[in-house]
Each structure stands twice: as structure tokens, then as C-alpha cells.
Amino acid sequence: MGYLSKFVGVCAAVTLLSVTVVGAEEKDPTKARVPADQIADAKAMKNPVASTPESIAKGKALYEGKGTCFNCHGKEGKGDGPAGAILNPSPRNFTNCKFHKKRKDGELFWVIKNGSPGTGMVSLVPAAITEEEAWTIINYERSFCKGGEE
Ligand code: HEC
């Protein structure tokens, strides 16, 4: 088989694969991820990084950089990053305003620090980012919800 036909074969296989995995869905995004015995403490945590245009811009750089968040959550925050496509449940869609309304910053922080057991969301603090960087990214993640009260 020539190089070109091999290449075409690989492309076809990849296309097939992406068709078969597209079926994965988010696990109910309105249900809390923090265990019941820790949720009060998580909700009480305050984001020490003020949400300003500067911190949101810093959060974007971390989200698309060393935080590696975009790989799964996608650059647009829709949960459709290249690595996210093979995950079941699929990564959180941050453009969903209903999700943001359900969560305090501290609950998001808890998941970034501890991961969401049984899913592709692993602990990223301190493996990839510091606690302060996680809070900074949370300010950016909030900005994916454009619909306000939706
Ligand atoms: C390897 C893929 C992957 C990467 C990389 C990743 N995530 Fe996730 N993330 C997921 C998946 C999958 C879920 C859905 C977990 C669930 O449904 O419980 C998720 C869920 C979340 C949630 C929602 C938690 C909740 O309360 O429901 C937050 C917040 C989050 N990720 C933040 C981040 C941040 C910030 C980064 C980068 C520092 C990041 N993720 C990187 C896969 C990933």
C-alpha cells in the first residue's frame, strides 16, 4: 500500500472513531460533585483572586497553557476539546449558565484540586497549577457563560 492510500485509510479510521465516540454525554451537570461531608466547607471558600479583566486574561492564558484545560474542555469552553472527545462522561460545558448558577467558586476549586472521581477530570493542583492559578482560571471559566440569567 502506498503512503497516500495508507494515509487515507487512517483518516477514514479516525473519522469512524470520532463518529462512534460522539455519543458520550455529560453526567448531570447540576448535581454536586463535592462529597456531602465536605460540601459546606467547599461552598464557604472564597475566591481570593478578584475577577477583573486582568485576572480573566491571565486565567485564559493558564486555561490554554500549562493548565491544559482546553485539551478536554475546548478553547470555547463547550466541553469539546480533542482529548475530551474520548471521555465518558464528557467534560463540563462551561457555556452552560445553569451549571454556573448551581456552583460556588469553592465547589469548582474542590474539583480542580481533588478531581471528580470516576471521570477523566483528575486532580490538577498541584500537579499542573498552583492553588492561586486555579482560582484565576475559575474567573475565566465563569466568563464562558454569556447568557446571564439563562
Ligand atoms: C483529561 C481531560 C480534562 C482536563 C485536562 C481537564 N478537565 Fe475538567 N473535567 C473533565 C471531565 C471529564 C469533567 C466532567 C466530570 C464530571 O462529570 O464529574 C470535568 C469537569 C470539570 C469541572 C466541573 C466540576 C463540577 O463541579 O461539576 C471543572 C470546574 C473543571 N473540570 C475544571 C478544569 C480545569 C480548571 C482544568 C485545567 C486546569 C481542567 N478541568 C482540565 C476533564 C478534564
**pLDDT tens-digit readout, 68-96:** 999 999 999 999 999 999 999 999 999 99
Phi, psi of 33 (to 5 degrees): -100, -20
- What is the distance between the alpha carbons of residues 134 and 137, in angstroms, rounded to a whole number? 5
Residue nearest to atom 42 of ligand 1 (CA): 121
What's the pLDDT at 150? 44
Centroid of ligand 1 to alpha carbon of 92 (angstroms): 6
Q: Cell 466541553 belongs to which residue?
A: 79
Q: Does pLDDT of 54 surpass 50?
A: yes
Please give the biggest Cα pair distance in the chain. 62
CA distance 119 to 70: 16
What's the CATH fold of domain 2-142? Cytochrome Bc1 Complex; Chain D, domain 2 (1.10.760)
Q: What pLDDT is stored for residue 19 in this prediction?
A: 46
**Separation of CA 28 and ligand 1 centre (Å):** 13
Any ligand 1 atom below 6 A from CB of 115? no
133 lines ligand 1 (CB under 6 A): no
Q: Is the pLDDT of residue 129 over 80?
A: yes
Q: How far is the CA of 124 from the centre of ligand 1 (A)?
A: 9
Closest residue by Cα to residue 112 from 83, 92, 87, 96:
92
| Residue 16, pLDDT above cutoff 70 | no
Q: What is the residue-averaged pLDDT of the chain?
A: 89
- Can you give the pLDDT at residue 3? 61
Mean pLDDT of 57-67: 98
pLDDT score recorded for residue 7: 58
Tens digit of each residue's pLDDT (9 = 90 or more) over 1-13: 566 666 555 555 5
- Cβ atoms of 2 and 10 closer than 8 Å: no
With a 6 Å cutoff on the Cβ, whether 61 touches ligand 1 is no
Ligand 1 centre from 116 Cα, in Å?
8
The protein residue with its alpha carbon nearest to ligand 1, atom 43, reads 121
Report the alpha-carbon distance of residue 116 to residue 87 in Å, rounded.
13
